[in-house]
Structure 1
């Protein structure tokens, strides 16, 4: 009994040392102690979030005061900051907004003559910007010219960051001989077959060559000197376009008669960054908007990192991304107009619950092949796919509602060790299963002229539907490479009843409001009615949410310039 009493007293003593800190972008001052939300003598809120983070100990809470004004800051968790299992560190956002986009003072631009063109350089940049610096004017994003897109046939450009040589091929390049003279005078001879494909799929004539330990000095094709350009984008920059040199210098060419005034730029990569062996940290009620990289970027070996009701909008890459050997939980959040909604990679382990991913540019909700076992529950994917490996999926709504022109393929791509239960897919889309068995249990595949694609020679070893329903128009196709074999799923199911257990085809009219389509579906399977109602509620408030984002980032008045 005495021992238990001592433990209780010890735990109570620990709790008394937990402190509250405050940050305000309205009345905050980094000369204060941060221990009060109001100014009380020398006490009062801090101004800078990262200043406050270095004060936090296990059990402490940082309150980001919602002033109605956006925080033009980022949250970068210090290396030494960690909580404990019984004394977590909490960062309470109070529904505040954080952004990586800042207004640029007009005098930061200097005229940099480039031939006959007027090109301006942004002065005062420090460091390297691996994700570029997106520019905005009048709320519109300035187009970016990549150096590889500025190349012409027969020209080369070397990307120093990744040690890659790019070549815009000619019609005769497959019979050409290439001699690459390196900086130390050594020579690398290359055959045409050694040039590989690039990620620039819009230009199939663009090829790349890896494996350089030093930059090329010159290049010969069949003994004739070929153009190796230093900065093709800058040399050929069109009006109204920007470019970067070596991820360190930003250039912009305005339209004729204009100057770079009242512009904004994304100068910080991510809203929230963890990059160390941090543990037991919880983020709550936070909004991140406009980043060049991720909204929430988690690296290193962070453990027991939790995000509750954390949202991201208009991110350059992922809205949320967990990397490496990190253990994270994401419970509640909206990820709207992010390049990728949620993308977890490497050996990360992530629990995802109660999220909405809406209209990303390239990818929706993804757990890559290297991820450790994960969970995706009670979540909605709108106009985008769910691509997952090593995960349990349950109570999911994947829906194509044509609410935006910026749509990717709706549906599910299932990799290894995926359990799919109580999932409803409505609208146009694709289900793809690669090399691993996938069991759809209690699901509704209401695909409008959709496909189930099995990348194997025998779908019987791969696909099982239990207690499910599917549209009569669904086509099953399979094979390891084209041409694929095809069969209506209805016909294949009749021929393979052991793969279609208590599973029936349904008729659905894909016209009118989504609510009407939903009413046509059987309601004893698929996602919960509560989840669909959450989608309806979200759709009714989506436009107002977008207006809020724009209002926070681009206020009508220009008073915020004074704080930059």
Structure 2
């Protein structure tokens, strides 16, 4: 009798266990190709999704790996809200891909007005950037003249203002014009390329982000256990990498360069805890680092060509280990940069084009 009474309970327990296990999403691998993918596909290697965000709906919260097809270009923002778990992290394998939010406006049309050039495209008020760089000329960040005279950097690759019709009027760097330079507008919105609004256990590898209206990588609230490996944050309107709130972020073997923030290429504030190892941080519009969070550690960081200062001062909350300001001691994992002499020559060219006012 007792045995007969217990059997249904055992079956019920087994069914409940099966239901719980079946209701938990299992981490998997999903593939994305901007050239041959389709968001109606299953996201397999043979039938990849077209957009990264479609793949993120499968892994954000459950964990899993998003594989971007090698060396492809994507034009979309990546939003991370939940991340993964300790046993199943959310991983984005960039495989050398580039996420690029800019628009090439080299062909304008441009109208010459005295020593300036006007881009014949209206810029809506909410897209007019002042404390960031909305335009890049040959990779040089251009600063916008604030109506109240705010936000002028130490040096710049040209300047711009908005006329009464809302059009950009640009003063080009020395020796450059629309006829002989590449001109790129950053993303239309004040958004980062990669935005973490929370979550845990996220790894991003081998990905380049560029020409965001805001930061390249931006982490807010509580982004815990986020790790960036072999990433590049280049030519973004604001910071290359920025951590806020109570985020905990580690960056390794990466590069931050040519970003247009009036503050620094890397900005970590509030109660953020961050670590940077083997980082190359160079030629941003102002300083290399602004670290005002809870705890920061820089190890084997090389920083140069940042007019507002290359390395932060060591304090109780900022630890520097084997870091250098200048090109004499390059990270071993950046052989493509060539010799220190090559870098010095390149740096001199940028200083020529971006004079100190």
- 1:85, 1:48 → 2: CA distance? 26
- 2:289, 2:146 → 1: CA distance? 30
Give 1:356 shift: 2.7
Question: What per-residue deviation string (whole Å, max 9, x for no partner) do you get for residues 538-563 of structure 1?
Answer: 5642159x9xxxxxxxxxxxxxxxxx
Matches within 5 A, 1:325-404: 325-339=246-260, 340-368=264-292, 371-372=293-294, 374-383=295-304
1:71 touches 1:98 (CA, 8 Å); kept in 2? yes
- 1:141, 1:378 → 2: CA distance? 28
1:34 touches 1:52 (CA, 8 Å); kept in 2? no
- 2:24, 2:270 → 1: CA distance? 37
1:132 touches 1:244 (CA, 8 Å); kept in 2? no
Matches within 5 A, 1:24-423: 24-30=33-39, 32-38=40-46, 44-56=47-59, 57-66=61-70, 68-77=71-80, 79=81, 81-104=82-105, 119-123=118-122, 128-130=127-129, 134-136=134-136, 139=138, 141=140, 143-148=142-147, 157=148, 200=152, 242-244=160-162, 249-252=166-169, 264-268=184-188, 269-274=191-196, 276-339=197-260, 340-368=264-292, 371-372=293-294, 374-383=295-304, 407=307, 409-410=309-310, 413-417=313-317, 423=321
| Largest Rg, 1 or 2 | 1
Instruction: Summarize the Cα distance change of 1:424–1:253 in structure 2 as closer, same or farther, 3 Å threshold.
Output: closer
Give 1:133 shift: 6.5
Per the normalisation by structure 1, the TM-score is: 0.46
Instruction: Summarize the Cα distance change of 1:122–1:304 in structure 2 as closer, same or farther, 3 Å threshold.
Output: same
Unaligned runs of 5+ in 2: 1-13, 343-357
Query: Which protein, 1 or 2, shows the higher relative CO under an 8 Å CA cutoff with sep ≥ 6?
Result: 2
Give 1:71 shift: 2.1
- 2:232, 2:26 → 1: CA distance? 31
The residue that corresponds to 1:494 in the other structure is none
- 1:382, 1:49 → 2: CA distance? 32
Q: Does 1:542 align with 2:325?
A: no
- 1:61, 1:201 → 2: CA distance? 40
Unaligned runs of 5+ in 1: 1-5, 39-43, 149-156, 158-165, 167-197, 203-239, 384-403, 429-512, 515-531, 547-564
Instruction: Summarize the Cα distance change of 1:317–1:83 in structure 2 as closer, same or farther, 3 Å threshold.
Output: same
Give 1:127 shift: 5.2
The residue that corresponds to 1:401 in the other structure is none
Give 1:295 shift: 1.6
Instruction: Summarize the Cα distance change of 1:343–1:104 in structure 2 as closer, same or farther, 3 Å threshold.
Output: same
Paired residue total: 313
Give 1:93 shift: 1.0
Per the normalisation by structure 2, the TM-score is: 0.68
2:299 touches 2:323 (CA, 8 Å); kept in 1? no
The residue that corresponds to 1:20 in the other structure is 29
Cα RMSD for the two superposed structures: 4.5
- 1:201, 1:136 → 2: CA distance? 15
- 2:286, 2:23 → 1: CA distance? 47
